[in-house]
Amino acid sequence: MNETLRSLYDRFYTPLPLAEYEQEVETCHRQLIERLEKPERKLVLQIIDTQNHIIEERSLDSFLCGFRLAWELAGELNHYQENRHLSSAEEAETDACSVS
């Protein structure tokens, strides 16, 4: 099931256009590369990669939670509509019996 939901996420999720922020990250990244030695650069890149992974996982989790909520709401609405139709049918049957 999670693979199906992951496919839905990949198909329907459109990342927000954040060009300004992406440019700022790139500028800061270049400045860090210029100022840091190789071991520190690797550490910074590892931090950035890990943060990106966390962000991606949270985005997917948010999508999955929203999808499951929508699915449950659709089920509840369907259940409500079925009960509503049953109540209307019971009322009509009761009215028909009272008239006889």
pLDDT per residue as tens digits for the range 16-72: 888 999 999 999 988 988 999 999 999 988 999 999 999 999 999 999 899 999 999
| Residue 3 domain flag | no
| Residue 8 domain flag | no
| Residue 62 domain flag | yes
| Residue 4 domain flag | no
Q: Which of 27, 7, 15 is nearest to 52 (CA)?
A: 15
| Residue 31 domain flag | yes
- How many domains does the chain contain in total? 1
How far apart, in whole angstroms, are the C-alpha atoms of residue 58 and residue 51?
11
| Residue 46 domain flag | yes
How far apart, in whole angstroms, are the C-alpha atoms of residue 9 and residue 15?
11
Domain housing 31: 17-99
